[in-house]
Chains A and B, each alone.
Chain A
């Protein structure tokens, strides 16, 4: 079954707390992505990972870091979350060089 799984689906944190968003995929895709979706802005790329420990900044990496220690798993970390990081976060994966992305269902993060 081809699937991208995101945990948790909903998360409420206070400003200054650390946040860990997790993403897994079962398709052996080399490339994985983290996007955030905000009203009127569409999807913005935060980080892209080409494989284990091979990560690259996207368009809006400030305030975020990522970790990829296994090909099937990609984490997004917010150290000391800020209220402007309230958003819906999507993880996606693809084969190398392919533009067909498979998306997870998203994590709705609220930072109070």
Chain B
């Protein structure tokens, strides 16, 4: 069965510092991978998505993610974190079907 692992339940970074949120997937075929963000008291919003091709994908608000088949990973990065990035980030995997498998989420806290 497919699974998505986000090993860090909570990450704290200082404003202006760089960020990496980790994601590992277990699908053995060609994965379609996503990062969603959930701001307080809101639903999830798509940050970026990977369809097979360029391993580095750009998203909104300066986020990017890099796909690695050898490491089964799809880590999210941002060069300089802003206080407004304080949210919960979910990694998800879907094989172009109807169902997404979500990770358990990583809470990002930003120190001013």
Contacts and interface: CB of A to CB of B under 8 A. Distances in A.
Interface in A28-48: 31, 40-43, 45, 48
A11 B105 CA distance: 24
Interface stretch (B11-19, B64-72, B74-82, B93-101): B93-101
Interface in A7-65: 31, 40-43, 45, 48, 50, 58
Contact of B98 (A40, A48, A90, A103): A48
B43 A90 contact: yes
Chain A interface category by residue count: 20 to 34
B105 A99 contact: no
A48 B99 CA distance: 8
B99 A58 contact: yes
Given A4-B43, A103-B44, A43 B98 contact: no
B9 to A, nearest CB: 8
Interface residues of B, number: 23
Contacts of A50: 98
B45 interface: yes
B96 A105 contact: no
Nearest to A44: B102
B49 A42 contact: no
